[in-house]
A and B are shown apart, each in its own frame.
Chain A
Amino acid sequence: MSFVPGSFVNELPNVSRSAADAQPFGIVQVDDSGVIQLYNKWESEMAAVPVPSAEGKNFFTQVAPCTNNRLVFGKFKDGVAKGELDSEFNYTFTYKMKPTNVQIRLMRHAASRTNWVLVGMRAA
């Protein structure tokens, strides 16, 4: 079962910043090249990266370089190229933070052509 409620997934293309900030998991909207358009409060606090410092930068190469590999960025690029992406998997963050076990869900909303990186905590 996903850490992202199904009802919220349906709202994603139109989620407001305040609604995104109210969620108990990370929400990052990125364009097709990975540049951050929306970075919510949870993600900002978890990664200790202020929202203004993150938005406008590339999520995979500049803000979360631990995701710059085939496992995450490669999967994202493949999904964008195919026009469909919905993949959830376990991951471990250590960059500028204590060891943190997370789940990552990569999604592309085909109708709105928007891309989402969702991050939730998981037990070790």
Chain B
Amino acid sequence: MDPSKVLIVDDNLDLAHALELRLRANNYQAVLAQSGPSAVALALAHKPIAILLDLHLPKEDGLAVMMEFRSCPEIAGVPVIVMSADCSVVTQHKVLDAGAHAFLDKPLNHRSLLHMLRGIEMRSADQQRLMATDPHRLQD
């Protein structure tokens, strides 16, 4: 089976690369994007299981990028994990209120991240199983 894909949106290429190494070692395939528009295009093309989004992108606000994901029906349901070095409670609330799946501080705790990704995978596997066995579920 092909490895699940994870989209990383971060303008810091070094950091994205370190994250990619970490993900690859745990059998995920990372796709890198450095800006909002390219992130949307890549998400549409690759259908990742999750999106890791840096809150501080050079030209746009991470929250605005998240809204763009939400407004595309094909990828609106993909969980967005927001990463930021600004770990104030206010920022965390703002991010979660805007619909993020979770918030992770930088420097990233990779164990938390991998744990989260496993959870997301398990849930989507459950959903697919449900849909396969119970066609009425689809109409809900």
Partners in one complex: no
Interface residues of A (CB under 8 A from B): none
Chain B positions within 8 Å of A, measured between CB atoms, are none
